[in-house]
Amino acid sequence: MPDNGKITASAVSGWVAEQRPLIIELEKLLTSVPALAPESGGGGELGKCEALEHKLRSLGFTLFERFDAPDSRVPSGIRPNLVVTVPGRNDGVRLWIMSHLDVVPPGDLSRWETDPWTAVEKDGCIYGRGVEDNQQGLVSSVIAALYFIRNGVMPEYTLKLLFMADEENGSVFGMQYLLKEFRRDPIFRKGDFIIIPDGGDPLGETVEVAEKNIFWLNVKVQGKQAHGSRPDLGINAHHAGCDLALRLHALEKKFSARNPLFEPDYSTFQATKKTGNVPNINTIPGEDFFCMDCRVLPEYRLDEVRAAVKAVAAEIEKAYGVTVSFSEEQAVESLAVSPDAPVVRLVSSAVERVLGRKCRPVGIGGGTVAAYLRNEGYDAVVWSIMDETAHQPNEYSRIDNIVSEASVLAAAACLC
């Protein structure tokens, strides 16, 4: 068995570079099996998970575990979470690389230059829905793990690949399920290295160690419907809703702290989706519905935000004679990982060893499964090399990025 200390970055990178045909093959396979959540009109991730497992077995992987979350909304009744293991020299600490199986809908098909469900290779990139989010991380983790199988090398510690369900809609049937269902006998161990290749920058120079708290609200304003010519007989819920949205947006001034880890470096309160009021012009709406997407710096707790939102709602109710109610679509508070944590040093060392670049810790406004892990005391970081085309028409992934990413992940497994 080769000595990991004698494995060079150039040897790893050279082997990974030779896997470009397999990288393209995997991307095409995964894209061809849509994995949409029921919230998006899909049947879940089972077909994609089974196609992936079949392919991995053909490549030589042998250790598989499935942790299926029940979900009656999908035809199979389950949302699969797949773990693939490559044994290491020491199982006391494991290196986890986590990616998700589900994708978002393609959106307006007229804005796509190719079929979103048929991955197309062009000019050094692969185009298709999900090829970057999160199939790039999925494929790079597979190639990194395959290095050890094909070259007869044991990683320093046991390598665990986790392919999760439901990341795009809150991870209730993915990471949240794994943490809650196995709380007494945890799948993860404190001290494990956890890398999530689901966000990054084009050079791989940032390690995400913190996320803003996510607070999504569905807002209902109840007034009194009337004819458009007789506003005096009604209470215009839309007027009150507009004012409410603007006052909630103004909470950015109340929660005014700045944190240079993040971009933007302040908390954001944004009115987003408009979900309805009346179908015709000549009716004073008695109800108004909209959504707020709030990304709050971790300096604040969400209970502080809830209290401020309620206070604003009370002002609107008094000013307009309406009733305001809220429901929370998502409410996720996130602890941060120390910039000096071992997993941060591991990723930084691997990036420097393979790419010759320095990494810096950052925070993001988006949400990843790292937040759930950090809140349970696990040091999880998000790192990738990507152009960030997720959720866009003509989503793409650069093949060179996948090669570099897989090389770094393989090197991390040698170093940890």
Q: Active-site residues: which are they?
A: 102, 167
∠ CA 384-360-376, rounded to 5°: 70
DSSP H or E stretch at residue 335: none
- Using CA atoms, how far residue 111 sits from 35, 306, 317, 396, in Å, is 21, 38, 42, 14
Instruction: Quote the radius of gyration of the chain (alpha carbons, Å).
Output: 24
**Residues with Cβ < 8 Å from 314, sequence gap 6 or more?**
none
Closest CA to 390 of 199, 203, 216, 206: 199
DSSP H or E stretch at residue 178: helix 175-181
d(Cα 116, Cα 368) in Å, to the nearest integer? Answer: 24
**Residue type for position 98:** M
d(Cα 262, Cα 60) in Å, to the nearest integer? Answer: 41
